[in-house]
Amino acid sequence: MKRAPQEMPSDAGFQIAPMIDVVFVIMLFFMVMAGAVKVEHELKTTLPGNAETSTATEIPDEITIGVSENGQITINEDPVGTPQDKTLDGLFNEMTKLKQAAIQSGSKLLITVQAEEAARYERVINVLDVLARADINNVTFAVAEPE
Protein backbone atom coordinates (compact mmCIF):
# COMPACT_ATOMS: atom_id res chain seq x y z
CA MET A 1 0.00 0.00 0.00
CA LYS A 2 1.36 3.29 -0.98
CA ARG A 3 1.16 6.21 1.34
CA ALA A 4 0.55 9.63 -0.03
CA PRO A 5 3.58 11.82 0.40
CA GLN A 6 3.05 14.40 3.12
CA GLU A 7 4.11 17.90 2.50
CA MET A 8 5.84 19.44 5.43
CA PRO A 9 5.13 23.14 5.83
CA SER A 10 8.17 25.24 5.46
CA ASP A 11 7.56 27.01 8.78
CA ALA A 12 5.52 25.09 11.43
CA GLY A 13 5.97 27.82 14.04
CA PHE A 14 3.83 28.72 17.01
CA GLN A 15 0.36 29.84 15.89
CA ILE A 16 -1.03 32.66 17.98
CA ALA A 17 -4.56 32.80 16.54
CA PRO A 18 -5.74 29.30 17.65
CA MET A 19 -4.16 29.88 21.05
CA ILE A 20 -6.20 33.05 21.53
CA ASP A 21 -9.32 31.13 20.46
CA VAL A 22 -8.68 28.46 23.08
CA VAL A 23 -7.88 30.99 25.82
CA PHE A 24 -11.09 32.87 25.00
CA VAL A 25 -13.16 29.70 25.25
CA ILE A 26 -11.56 28.72 28.58
CA MET A 27 -12.06 32.23 29.91
CA LEU A 28 -15.72 32.27 28.87
CA PHE A 29 -16.18 28.94 30.66
CA PHE A 30 -14.72 30.28 33.90
CA MET A 31 -16.69 33.54 33.58
CA VAL A 32 -19.94 31.60 33.30
CA MET A 33 -18.94 29.31 36.17
CA ALA A 34 -18.05 32.31 38.33
CA GLY A 35 -21.66 33.52 38.17
CA ALA A 36 -22.98 30.23 39.48
CA VAL A 37 -20.36 29.72 42.13
CA LYS A 38 -21.64 28.67 45.56
CA VAL A 39 -19.60 29.75 48.52
CA GLU A 40 -19.87 28.28 51.97
CA HIS A 41 -20.75 30.72 54.70
CA GLU A 42 -20.50 30.09 58.40
CA LEU A 43 -22.67 31.11 61.31
CA LYS A 44 -20.70 31.41 64.52
CA THR A 45 -22.00 30.36 67.90
CA THR A 46 -20.53 29.35 71.22
CA LEU A 47 -21.31 26.42 73.44
CA PRO A 48 -23.54 27.12 76.41
CA GLY A 49 -21.66 26.75 79.67
CA ASN A 50 -20.74 28.18 83.03
CA ALA A 51 -18.04 30.80 83.22
CA GLU A 52 -16.13 30.98 86.48
CA THR A 53 -15.31 34.53 87.45
CA SER A 54 -13.90 36.08 90.59
CA THR A 55 -15.57 39.45 90.01
CA ALA A 56 -19.23 40.35 89.80
CA THR A 57 -20.54 40.07 86.26
CA GLU A 58 -23.43 41.78 84.59
CA ILE A 59 -26.21 39.36 83.79
CA PRO A 60 -27.35 39.91 80.21
CA ASP A 61 -30.95 39.89 78.98
CA GLU A 62 -31.50 36.32 77.93
CA ILE A 63 -33.92 35.41 75.19
CA THR A 64 -34.69 31.82 74.26
CA ILE A 65 -35.72 31.06 70.71
CA GLY A 66 -37.35 27.66 70.41
CA VAL A 67 -37.35 25.55 67.25
CA SER A 68 -39.96 22.82 67.33
CA GLU A 69 -40.13 19.56 65.42
CA ASN A 70 -42.75 20.94 62.99
CA GLY A 71 -40.68 24.06 62.31
CA GLN A 72 -42.59 26.47 64.55
CA ILE A 73 -40.38 29.21 65.98
CA THR A 74 -41.06 30.69 69.41
CA ILE A 75 -39.56 33.59 71.36
CA ASN A 76 -39.70 32.80 75.08
CA GLU A 77 -42.47 30.30 74.22
CA ASP A 78 -44.56 32.79 72.22
CA PRO A 79 -45.01 31.60 68.62
CA VAL A 80 -43.63 33.80 65.82
CA GLY A 81 -44.65 33.35 62.18
CA THR A 82 -45.66 30.05 60.68
CA PRO A 83 -43.68 26.79 60.38
CA GLN A 84 -43.54 27.26 56.57
CA ASP A 85 -42.16 30.81 56.75
CA LYS A 86 -38.56 30.63 55.53
CA THR A 87 -37.66 34.32 55.63
CA LEU A 88 -38.80 34.65 59.27
CA ASP A 89 -39.46 38.37 58.94
CA GLY A 90 -41.46 38.40 62.19
CA LEU A 91 -38.50 36.98 64.09
CA PHE A 92 -36.15 39.44 62.38
CA ASN A 93 -38.34 42.41 63.41
CA GLU A 94 -38.51 41.19 67.01
CA MET A 95 -34.75 40.62 67.14
CA THR A 96 -34.02 44.05 65.66
CA LYS A 97 -36.25 45.66 68.32
CA LEU A 98 -34.53 43.71 71.09
CA LYS A 99 -31.11 44.65 69.73
CA GLN A 100 -32.06 48.35 69.65
CA ALA A 101 -33.46 48.14 73.18
CA ALA A 102 -30.28 46.44 74.42
CA ILE A 103 -28.10 49.12 72.80
CA GLN A 104 -30.20 51.91 74.35
CA SER A 105 -30.16 50.38 77.82
CA GLY A 106 -26.47 49.48 77.52
CA SER A 107 -27.09 45.85 78.37
CA LYS A 108 -25.90 42.74 76.58
CA LEU A 109 -28.27 40.62 74.59
CA LEU A 110 -27.81 36.87 74.90
CA ILE A 111 -29.78 34.60 72.62
CA THR A 112 -30.11 30.88 73.20
CA VAL A 113 -31.45 28.86 70.30
CA GLN A 114 -33.04 25.76 71.74
CA ALA A 115 -34.13 23.15 69.24
CA GLU A 116 -36.23 20.07 69.86
CA GLU A 117 -34.41 16.79 69.23
CA ALA A 118 -36.25 16.07 65.98
CA ALA A 119 -36.14 19.65 64.68
CA ARG A 120 -34.61 19.91 61.22
CA TYR A 121 -31.12 21.39 60.96
CA GLU A 122 -32.30 23.63 58.09
CA ARG A 123 -34.79 25.32 60.43
CA VAL A 124 -32.06 25.91 63.03
CA ILE A 125 -29.89 27.50 60.34
CA ASN A 126 -32.85 29.69 59.24
CA VAL A 127 -32.99 31.06 62.81
CA LEU A 128 -29.21 31.52 63.09
CA ASP A 129 -29.24 33.27 59.70
CA VAL A 130 -31.91 35.71 60.91
CA LEU A 131 -29.79 36.44 64.01
CA ALA A 132 -26.77 37.10 61.78
CA ARG A 133 -28.97 39.40 59.66
CA ALA A 134 -30.00 41.30 62.80
CA ASP A 135 -26.30 41.57 63.71
CA ILE A 136 -26.64 39.62 66.97
CA ASN A 137 -23.41 37.83 67.79
CA ASN A 138 -23.95 36.55 71.31
CA VAL A 139 -25.68 33.31 70.34
CA THR A 140 -25.56 29.87 71.90
CA PHE A 141 -27.15 26.73 70.55
CA ALA A 142 -28.58 23.91 72.60
CA VAL A 143 -30.84 20.94 72.02
CA ALA A 144 -33.71 20.51 74.45
CA GLU A 145 -33.78 17.26 76.42
CA PRO A 146 -36.99 15.29 75.89
CA GLU A 147 -39.45 15.71 78.76
Partner 1 sequence: MAGGGGGGDGEPEFQVAPMIDVLLVLLIFFMSITSSQVLKVDKNISLPVASHGVKRDDKAAAGLINISWDKTTGQAKYKLDDRELDPNDKDGIAKELQARKGTNDKYRLLIRADKECHAKYISKALEWAGEASIENIAFSGLNREE
Phi and psi torsions of 108, nearest 5°: -90, 145
Name 114's Cβ contacts closer than 8 Å, sequence gap at least 6.
64, 65, 66, 67, 142, 143, 144
The nearest distance, CB 70 to partner 1, in angstroms, is 13
Pick 43 or 105: Cβ nearer partner 1 = 43
CB-nearer residue toward partner 1: 4 or 121? 121
Q: What three-state secondary structure class fits 28?
A: helix
Nearer to partner 1, 4 or 39 (CB): 39
Instruction: In angstroms, give the least distance from the CB of 5 to partner 1.
Output: 34
Where do contacts with partner 1 occur on this chain (CB under 8 A)?
16, 19-20, 23-24, 26-27, 30-31, 33-34, 37-47, 49, 67, 115-122, 124-126, 128-130, 132-133, 141-143
Q: Pick from 12, 135, 129, 29: which is nearest to 73 by CA?
A: 129
Nearer to partner 1 (CB atom), residue 111 or residue 130: 130
Report the nearest approach of partner 1 to the CB of residue 6 (Å): 30
- Residues across the chain: 147
List beta partners, residue 143.
115
Give least dist CB 31 to partner 1, A: 6
User: 60 with 109: CB under 8 angstroms?
Assistant: yes
